[in-house]
Amino acid sequence: MWPERRNIPAPQVITPAQAAMMPAEAAAKTGIPDFSGLVETYGPAVVNISAKHVDIMNHNSINGGMNGGNPQLPIDPSDPFYQFFKHFYGNGVPGMGGNDSQNAADTPSESLGSGFIVRSSDGYILTNAHVVDGANVVTVKTTDKREYRAKVIGSDKQSDVAVLKIDAKNLPTVKIGDPNGSKVGQWVVAIGSPYGFDNTVTSGIISAKSRSLPNENYTPFIQTDVPVNPGNSGGPLFNLQGEVIGINSMIYSQTGGFQGLSFAIPLNEAMKVKDALVKTGHVDRGRLGVTVQGMDQTLAKSFGLQSPNGALVSSVEAGSPAAKAGFQPGDVILSVDGQPVADSNALPSQVAALAPGTTANVQVWRDKATKDLAVTVGTLSDTKTASTGQGADKGDSASQDARLGVTVRPLTPEEKQSASLSRGLLVRQSGGAAESAGIQAGDVILAVNGQPVTTVQQLKTMVAHAGDSIALLIQRDDAQIFVPVDLG
């Protein structure tokens, strides 16, 4: 009797791209993603980066900074690596004192980070600018333990993106994704070298998008709760399709370790920087020449706006593109080339993305109506931000406005010349509504609700006829800022 025939399915061939997609399929079926296919496919394209600044006159440093076969480790107690190695080795570690007699001044400074290969044919690698900042010896190590001396093609501190190149061919590469297609709440995966532990995989979700951070004005960060730590910097952030959508750049922490807040540079922004660095070695960014501040409901009401959207112009730099285009303090920038400006944090990245020399259409809110201004975009070289601080109290005769709660006097000619002002009232004392709003002695009141003020009587008249709130343009130290005052 013949054996029973059975239909035996042919073996299924799974491509690397299909393997990387498996986490998304697993998540859809079980609710718990499996990242193994993604890691196996694209993990080899993630590299460990060691960046050193060595004394080129010291032969031992040139040869790796080794002493007795042991690596030179950080000696700064504030360095997270110091505490890490001290936990395991105590004080007898080279570079930390103890039995090591080498002069600390001879120890090369070193930072560890991560990166990922984006082009196989010529060995281009993306990482963070702060990983290689100040280094003259950069070493890249792949997952198969090969090491290469890397060349820094370019580094852009404002975006915190750097491009490296190694002399190698047929390298594994990552798959480039579009962060604009990602959503808050979606799973993401980070691969990097926290504390030097190569190819460590961590996961989490996207917590927010287009996040602006203090002193980081030109990058709309992707916020995640993916655990990243020192050494993860420069590593890729993957979506569940195995595509890189960001470069892990920084954390917010009280201790130096991960506390649930990590931030990644969107890859589309990083790729623009990469292309510019490879092509020209630098990045050109647009500039208007205005200082802006955030809006709140009180300010919005003072300027006749329904909602506190946009960026409030507190000062316009003389001779700047904005000045030539007719921008004024008190303008609220609503959109740039048709793209809405959500707030003052969003504006810098939108303007920086403009090509210098081109003409941009900027819509502003002025005198309770919209106005379109055509501005020839300049080139960014420096930035100014509005700040607060203590001012000096000078002069004699003053007059008080009871409703506002300030005692003011006109500026003397010498004060106008010293502060480069043509007008203004110096605040001698502050109380009541003004004090509650943060107005201080030494501030100079320049305008009320966008209208210039030159005399004490003019200020009294404006305040008397104002509604429940006003916006005062003040100068404090070298910066101008609008202050909303609730008059009740």
The tokens for 150 are 């890397």
Contacts of 138 (CB under 8 A, 6+ apart): 49, 50, 51, 52, 132, 149, 150, 151, 152, 164
Candidate list 160, 198, 331, 401, residue with the active-site label: 160
DSSP letter (8 states) at residue 195? G
For 455, left (φ over 0), alpha (ψ -120 to 50), or beta?
Answer: beta
Candidate list 233, 262, 302, 315, residue with the active-site label: 233
Looking at the DSSP assignment, which residues form a beta bridge with residue 371? 364
d(CA 171, CA 169): 6
Contacts of 67 (CB under 8 A, 6+ apart): 60, 94, 100, 102
The question of whether 212 is a catalytic residue gets the answer no
H or E segment and range at residue 376? strand 369-376
Candidate list 50, 100, 130, 155, residue with the active-site label: 130
The DSSP annotation for 202-265 comes to: EEEEEEEEEEEETTEEEEEEEEE-----TT-TT-EEEETTSEEEEEEEEE--SSSS--S-EEEE
CB atoms within 10 A of CB 438: 15
The question of whether 130 is a catalytic residue gets the answer yes
d(CA 254, CA 152): 32
The C-alpha angle with vertex 325 and arms to 319 and 330, in degrees rounded to 5, equals 90
Residue of 110, 158, 81 lying closest to 351 (CA atoms): 158
Distances (CA, A) of 126 to 281, 362, 373, 449: 14, 34, 38, 47
Report which residue type is found at 78.
S
Cβ pair 72, 82 in contact under 8 A: no
Report which residue type is found at 122.
D
The question of whether 249 is a catalytic residue gets the answer no
CB neighbour class for 215 (10 Å; exposed up to 12, middle 13-18, buried from 19):
exposed
Alpha helices in 98-187 (DSSP H): 129-132
Contacts of 451 (CB under 8 A, 6+ apart): 462
CB neighbour class for 88 (10 Å; exposed up to 12, middle 13-18, buried from 19):
exposed
d(CA 242, CA 40): 10
Residues acting as catalytic residues: 130, 160, 233
